[in-house]
Chains A and B, each alone.
Chain A
Amino acid sequence: MIKNFFIIAILAGLAAIFVTLFWDFGDSETLTPLATHYATNGATEVGAPNLVTSIVVTYRGFDTLGEVTILFLVASIVSFFLKREKVQKEIAPKRETSEIILTAAKLLVPIVMLLGVYVFINGHLTPGGGFQGGAIIATAFVLLLMANPDFEINHKIIATVESVSGIAFVLIGVLGILLAGGFLDNKVLPLGTFGKIFSAGAIPLIYSFVGLKVGSELSNILSNLQGVQKEEM
């Protein structure tokens, strides 16, 4: 009873704060000075039509490197934490996967993976990018695992893809110090024609590596969670 009272009190207090925030909210008419700089100089400085991408990959590229590191740490902690014991228990008989999911998985898995690759290669032109593309690739693995619960993702391939793309990401950043203005500067490669797929310097390359890395890390997390579930049954 007293606990419920506290919960209601906390929620009511927060709601009161939110109501004041809501009434004080005035919609902005102009961009902040920082955003104005990005908007006016982004096309010439970075050469990527998608301004969010140019902020994420170039202006705040170091931030993204930290983000990828956090995701890597999560993947390694999960796989350390859910380490599978070698003893395989008797697996109870399972219900067969429905025909719809089996057929859909066969049909859709290659297309979904292709869509993921498309999303991260076009990250500098259209909405999307490495993280979104990586997540789409991981959904293909979810579909595979749903269709065939005994499916084992090859950990060697995943680990290789993940570490190679991580090292390549950092190497492109270091090349930026040597050849261009600083760490993760995208002018390592020529900027090219604005709006074409091979443009914006190193952004498509960096985002492809980020996409591969995120995709393999998420698949790794998924297969670890799946492995534990298999033991439970």
Chain B
Amino acid sequence: MEIIALITGFALILIGLYGILSKKNIIKIIVGFSLFDTGLHVLIVTVGYIKGGTAPILDSVVGTTNVASKIVDPVPQALVLTAIVIGLGVTALMLAYALKMYQAKKSLDISDFKDMKW
């Protein structure tokens, strides 16, 4: 279970980084960032996995006694909830910048933007 999640997370991070480094299209770079983000989220949730644990919700199945031995770690999940929202904000900002850049030069190719390059 956690092996699948680990492989997925690491693979997503590598694919995302490959996209960020090698693609020319700004939209594809943003997609790369999103993939990188998702991979990190999968990894953080995996770190909180406890063998045989269930979701950290105290419903009729888990009950309220001896909870600590039945559930997975809720702290990484809460952190990932924060991270997803921040990732969404970063993506929205990047898309807004991409729109502005397209308006400026009518191009989404990153090699057309050399004004700040030295």
Contact = CB atoms under 8 A, between A and B. Distances in A.
Contacts of B50: 27-31
Contact of A225 (B21, B68, B96): B96
B78 A39 contact: no
B96 A51 contact: no
Dominant secondary structure at the A interface: helix
A18 B18 contact: no
Nearest to A57: B78
Contact of A82 (B10, B69, B100): B100
Given A49-B59, A56-B81, A225-B99, A31 B86 contact: no
B89 A71 contact: yes
B22 to A, nearest CB: 5
A18 B85 contact: no
A51 B71 contact: yes
A215 B73 CA distance: 28
Contacts of A10: 17, 21
B95 interface: yes
Interface string A30-44: 111011101110110
Interface size class of B (residues with CB under 8 A): 35 or more
A152 interface: no
Interface of A: 4, 7, 10-11, 14-15, 18, 21-22, 25, 27-32, 34-36, 38-40, 42-43, 49-52, 55-56, 60, 63-64, 67, 70-71, 73-74, 77-78, 81-82, 126-127, 129, 131, 135, 194-195, 214, 218, 221, 224-225, 228-229, 232
Contact of B57 (A18, A81, A126): A126
B110 interface: no
Given A52-B77, A82-B100, A39 B68 contact: yes
Contacts of B82: 56, 63-64, 67
